[in-house]
Structure 1
């Protein structure tokens, strides 16, 4: 099953600092999961000034329980960076250029 994680960062003071402090570990894990095919793609959501305010991650997992376990193990979730998380199922489409 494929899901979109839309994770908005906490707006509390210090959240961006926590995000930046944990970014290397977050990215290392994302690259591992992408190599395994669990992560399809993703990136940081930005505000008008270009500051990171959340994440969008496209995932391919066996079921919702696997997605919930993935989120629970995510360093941004564990460190209180991600606060509001929306989950949307999606269907990947192979785009072909003309």
Structure 2
């Protein structure tokens, strides 16, 4: 399995936070399923200085970048226009 760091930043328009909150339960259910299958190592919300959610980060593992992208395109945060910019980088967890 290949590991990846996903850093995703939300849209900044007036409705962005409302879209995030509306899609959040579905997104978290999908994350729970990824955890059950071993694809999600850990993740969480990126916060601004006021503690408001402005993005997400996840460390995941998939067989290939293509498989990861296929999953990503079905995530509620992509489908419901929560994430504006998504960066995916290869990652290797340190053995400590």
The aligned residue for residue 34 of structure 1 is 35
- Number of aligned positions between the proteins: 95
* Cα distance in 2 between the residues matched to 1:41 and 1:58: 5
In 1, the alpha carbon distance for the partners of 2:58 and 2:78 equals 13
Q: Deviations over 1:52-92 (max 9, x none)?
A: 00000111000110111111011001100000111110111
The runs of at least 4 consecutive aligned structure 1 residues that moved more than 2 Å come to none
TM-score where L is the length of structure 2: 0.95
Q: Give me the CA root mean square deviation.
A: 0.7
Does residue 91 of the first structure (1) align with residue 87 of the second (2)? Answer: no
User: Secondary structure in 2 aligned to 1:94?
Assistant: coil
Residue of structure 2 in register with 1:70 after alignment: 71
TM-score by length of 1: 0.93
Cα distance, 1:94 vs. partner? 2.9
When Rg is computed on C-alpha atoms for both structures, the one with the higher figure is 1
Q: Measure the CA separation in 1 of the matches of 2:95 and 2:18.
A: 37
Unaligned runs of 5+ in 2: none
CA distance in structure 1 between the aligned counterparts of 2:33 and 2:85, rounded to whole angstroms: 24
List alignment gaps of at least 5 residues for structure 1. Answer: none
